[in-house]
Structure 1
Amino acid sequence: MPTMDAARAFEHDVMHVEDEAGLAALLEEVCKRLGCSWFALSHHVDFLAAPDRGIRVHNYPEDWALWFDRRRLGISDPVHRASQRSAAGFLWHNMARYDPPREGDAEILEEARRHGIGDGVTIPAHIPGEAHGSISFAWEPGRAAIPEALAFVRSIGGPIFEAARLLANPGLANPIARLTDRQRECLIWAAKGTPVWAIARIVGLSPDTVKEHLKNARARYDANGGTLLAVRALYDGDISFADIAQR
């Protein structure tokens, strides 16, 4: 089983990945170190309906990927569902602890085994404003994923997923706040349910100016209402739940 020194080496290598092919090669190397056969780094979306909505890099058999996509399993796959309820990752044979089995899960897992995919390990990727995602490594049927594999993948999963995000969208490396300080201040009070006239008194502006700040904020987020504006600003990180909850 790879050591923590090996994990640190992978973390260093992933910082220098330049394209998707380089990322796939790195994931192949992780597979070799783990003694497994498969890897999959993916957002949990319907890639047939929205192929540009997320990242996906994998070496699963194409027949399995096609079967998976045709059944729109990007969101409902049992491994994906379990990862949405985990922060640290899990071994697949323990995933029922995170999400109870549903009708159809047994068929999905049996079809995976038919394609040579048995037990595995998954590390979730939860990033506000993006679809859930994960990075998984899987063994052929008959071999069980072990806790040491989970510990190793936990140490490298985050950096690898982050590298994939930056490859797909280089602009993420230099985020720019969408809202001005005044727009953000007015939005926070509005999200608390404060009426415009009261926001004006609190921030020392006229009601018309507060309305203008909120209007401009909606335009920046292409939001046609205050609720949608607040939701998009929360996902984007311009405001936080703590901002809204603070008295």
Structure 2
Amino acid sequence: MAMRLAHIVETVDSLDDLAAAMAAICVDLGFQYFALSHHVDVAMAGEAAIRLHNYPRRWADYYDSHALGVSDPVHRASHVTSIGFPWSQMAAMIPLTSGDRRILALGRAQGIGDGFTVPAHVPGEARGSCSFASEAGRPLPQAMLPLAQPAGNFAFEAARRLWTGRGGALPLLRPALTDRQRDCVLWVARGKSDWEIGRILGISDETVARHIKQACERYGVNKRTLLVIRTLLDGTLTFSEIVHRGYAPFRA
């Protein structure tokens, strides 16, 4: 069955065919809804972002108008794992705020119950996922979840193929930084001043400030804190290298 599902999504040649295939896969797996999506503000990303679903229209309109693709707790939970997960497990994966619980309650009120989300992390692109959901009041088809994992993987890759085949570019997370810009941002993240960074890297503090300003411009931010956050989100920097203390101390 997994091979049949893979064949279906790999051979579709239009978005309408993919939507029809996903609807059929939902029936096979015991779900009622599906959503293929990049985790971005769809209104801002436009046609570049993957967005294909069969959710109730009223819920989809509310979701997009409030840019929930960026803050959706399901999306945030998918950022801390590489395998599919039932939505009922989200509270153990990420802290759920009162706003998160309100969003989930609003979804249930529109007929969307528990679901299963398969993360899609492609280096250099905005994160995404494939979600399958049951109607409110229906149990999750537990026995079919092992098949939902590969089905979600194949489906998202099919969506990527179709989106890029239209001649567009998928939304990218990472503006490329030069090696020196990255070095400077790394030391900013480690709490160093421009003067200290200059001593460590053997350049002037004015040059450090220029590299950091140019890095901010590439990300479209004007604060160093936001710059560090963006580089962590897209993988330019990692938490482990920021807290690493294996470097030699410098002397003034």
Residue matched to 1:182:
180
1:192-217 CA-partner distances (Å, limit 9, x unpaired): 11122221221122223222222222
| 1:145 paired residue number | 140
Identity %: 41
Q: Which residue of 1 aligns with 2:108?
A: 109
RMSD: 4.2
Question: Which residue number corresponds to residue 226 of structure 1?
Answer: 224
Number of the residue aligned with 1:238:
236
CA contact (8 A) 1:91 1:147 kept: no
1:40 is matched with which residue?
A: 35
DSSP 3-state at the match of 2:35: strand
Q: Structure 1 CA distance, aligned partners of 2:153 and 2:54? A: 19
- Counterpart pick for 2:18 among 6, 19, 23: 23
Residue 168 of structure 1: how far off its partner (Å): 4.5
Are 2:124 and 2:174, in contact at CA under 8 Å, matched by a contact in 1?
no
Q: Is the 8 Å Cα contact of residues 114 and 136 (structure 2) preserved in structure 1?
A: yes
**Aligned-partner SS, 1:137:** strand
Q: Distance in 1 between matches of 2:213 and 2:70?
A: 38
Matched residues in 1 for 2:187 and 2:97: separation? 40
In the alignment, is the contact (CA less than 8 A) between 2:59 and 2:107 conserved in 1?
no
- Cα 1:210–1:18 change in 2 (3 A) is farther
2:145 alignment partner AA: L
**Contact 1:42–1:57 (CA<8 Å) still a contact in 2?**
yes
Deviations 1:79-116 (A, max 9, x none): x535633634344677776669946866642541xxxx
In structure 2, runs of 5+ residues without a counterpart are 246-252
| Residues 4-34 of structure 1, C-alpha deviations (whole Å, 9 max, x = no match) | 4445xx1x65455554224323313322432
**Could you tell me which amino acid in structure 2 is paired with residue 195 of structure 1?**
S
Q: How does 1:124-163 map to 2 (within 5 A)?
A: 124-125=119-120, 133-139=128-134, 144-163=139-158
Aligned AA (2:194): V
- State the TM-score, normalizing by the size of structure 1: 0.69
Alignment partner for residue 76 of structure 2, among 80, 84, 94? Answer: 84
Task: Give the TM-score taking structure 2 as reference length.
Answer: 0.67
- Deviates further, 18-27 or 214-223: 18-27
- Which ranges of structure 1 fall in alignment gaps of 5 or more residues? none
Residue 250 of structure 2 corresponds to which residue in structure 1?
A: none
Between stretches 215-224 and 117-126, larger displacement belongs to 117-126
Cα displacement (A) at 1:235:
2.1
Provide the residue aligned with 2:248 in structure 1: none
Alignment partners' CA distance in 2, 1:195 and 1:159:
46
Secondary structure of 1:238's partner? coil
Which one of the candidate residues 108, 111, 117 is aligned to 1:122?
117
**Partner of 1:205: helix, strand, or coil?**
coil
Task: State how far apart, in whole Å, the 2-side matches of 1:230 and 1:15 are.
Answer: 38
Amino acid aligned to 2:243: A
1:208 to 2:200 alignment: no
Counterpart of 2:207, as a letter, is T
Which deviations, in whole Å up to 9, do the C-alpha atoms of 1:159-217 show, x marking residues without a partner? 42344356546545999751111111111112211122221221122223222222222
